[in-house]
């Protein structure tokens, strides 16, 4: 901005033109203000990102709204930052539609920015989870989605996923959980996954697992090896689950 002002002053001094540039002062002042506002908003969004990077799974809380809907709460510090950002966003939205469009493009792929964190859980369908509101783009790839998944499963005990009705981001998160997360037990059938919290007891896991499997063929199952290692003795005493693990190990090992 200073460079442009110096340039126009030099033009005046050399009499290149006789226009009165003072008429543009308000225009350039508005631009300068918009740039400052955008920088401030981006800075606040990055502060929120840093807060989320450091959050522990145990610091994520589910607040029940009704039978199938939960609000996520991340503690006072993060919730205060979210509230401030919502107010700041609303103020910008009232005053500058062009700037709010830029913010939406930068942080929410062009849609209206949402800073609400909610989960829908189908309790009559093995606690299948839905996330009606996507994460802002700057809050992705920081393991926040993974931490939310883990905490939610810890609280509700188990859930199911289907590769046919979840986003690419969710698929990557679930793949990481199934492959690496020792606090969860996952069983895969075709394109479907059921995942249990290790806090759930053995008998409940077995009961729910067979309710999910029903009477289907077991040859195409991929079983959780960590579950077997934790409950090896109990599995050996349970004829049904033991026979399924026998088939699994013979097929894949």
Position 30 scores a pLDDT of 62
Position 18 scores a pLDDT of 54
Arithmetic mean of pLDDT, 230-246: 94
Residues 72 and 42: their CA atoms lie apart, in Å, by 23
- pLDDT, greater one: 221 or 139: 139
- Of 212, 48, 68, give the one whose Cα is nearest residue 131: 68
- Mind listing the pLDDT tens digit for each residue in 141-156? 999 999 999 999 999 9
Per-residue pLDDT at 219 exceeds 80: no
Question: Which pTM value belongs to this model?
Answer: 0.82
Position 33 scores a pLDDT of 77
Q: What's the mean per-residue pLDDT of the chain?
A: 86
Position 28 scores a pLDDT of 47
Position 47 scores a pLDDT of 97
Position 126 scores a pLDDT of 94
Q: Pull the structure tokens for residue 112.
A: 């209206």
Mean pLDDT check: name the lowest of 53-57, 136-140, 210-214, 218-222: 218-222
- Mind listing the pLDDT tens digit for each residue in 30-74? 667 788 999 999 999 999 999 999 999 999 999 999 989 999 999
- Mind listing the pLDDT tens digit for each residue in 168-190? 777 778 888 888 888 999 999 88
Residues 53 and 51: their CA atoms lie apart, in Å, by 5
CB contact at 8 A, 46 and 39: no
- Mind listing the pLDDT tens digit for each residue in 108-140? 998 999 999 999 999 999 999 988 888 999 999
Per-residue pLDDT at 166 exceeds 80: no
Per-residue pLDDT at 215 exceeds 60: no
DSSP lists the bridge partners of residue 186 as: 195
Angle between helices 239-252 and 202-213 (to 10 degrees): 70
Share of the chain above pLDDT 90, in %: 63
- Of 142, 178, 176, 143, give the one whose Cα is nearest residue 159: 178
Position 34 scores a pLDDT of 80
Position 15 scores a pLDDT of 47
pLDDT band at 12 (very low <50, low <70, confident <90, very high): low
């Amino acid at each position: 901005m200073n460079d442009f002002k110096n340039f126009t002053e030099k033009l005046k001094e050399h009499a290149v033109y006789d226009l009165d540039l003072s008429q543009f002062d308000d225009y350039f002042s508005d631009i300068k203000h918009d740039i400052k506002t955008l920088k401030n908003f981006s800075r606040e969004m990055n502060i929120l990102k840093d807060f989320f990077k450091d959050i522990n799974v145990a610091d994520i809380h589910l607040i029940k709204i009704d039978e199938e809907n939960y609000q996520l709460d991340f503690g006072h510090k993060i919730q205060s930052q979210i509230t401030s950002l919502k107010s700041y966003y609303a103020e910008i939205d009232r005053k500058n539609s062009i700037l709010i469009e830029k913010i939406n493009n930068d942080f929410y792929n062009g849609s209206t920015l949402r800073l609400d964190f909610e989960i829908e859980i189908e309790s009559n369908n093995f606690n299948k989870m839905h996330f009606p509101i996507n994460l802002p783009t700057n809050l992705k790839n920081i393991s926040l989605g993974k931490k939310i998944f883990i905490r939610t499963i810890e609280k509700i005990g188990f859930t199911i996923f289907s590769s046919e009705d979840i986003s690419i981001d969710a698929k990557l998160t679930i793949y990481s959980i199934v492959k690496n997360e020792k606090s969860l037990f996952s069983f895969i059938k075709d394109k479907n996954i059921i995942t249990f919290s290790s806090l759930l007891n053995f008998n409940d896991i077995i009961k729910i697992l067979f309710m999910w499997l029903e009477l289907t063929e077991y040859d195409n199952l991929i079983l959780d090896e960590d579950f077997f290692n934790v409950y090896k003795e109990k599995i050996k005493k349970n004829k049904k689950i033991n026979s399924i693990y026998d088939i699994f190990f013979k097929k894949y090992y």
